[in-house]
Amino acid sequence: MNRWHVFRQGACCHVLACKQAPTVKAAMQCLGQLLAAMDPTNWPAAAAPWALLLSFLTDARPKVRKRAAASAEEVLAALQGTPALAPASEALAAGGRAGGAQRAGG
């Protein structure tokens, strides 16, 4: 399974499969804001979207990587002082492979 299949329903997979960096950057920003705003006690529901965001940290496009890093930083800042920080940090350290999502090559 690659990052395009993490979300099987809705427009999210279509936006993230887009080859245009500006569209993907906007999607990364939106995903980061949603994850930062969610209730940290419901973190298990966010594992797959978090892994998807983390998979873009190694994207071939520099501006997409930068936006993904900024979004990840925003999420981690929002999780400070909550029990959800540990699994989110562990997923980051593991290379974004939490929640069954795997990073696709390039």
Residues 37, 47: Cα–Cα separation, whole Å = 14
User: Could you list the mean pLDDT of each consecutive 10-residue stretch along the chain, which spans 106 residues?
Assistant: 42 60 90 93 90 92 95 96 94 69 38
Residues 83, 61: Cα–Cα separation, whole Å = 33
Model pLDDT, residue 20 = 84
Model pLDDT, residue 3 = 44
Model pLDDT, residue 9 = 41
Model pLDDT, residue 17 = 62
Structure tokens at 70: 């900024």
Residues 93, 86: Cα–Cα separation, whole Å = 10
Model pLDDT, residue 21 = 86
Predicted model pTM = 0.75
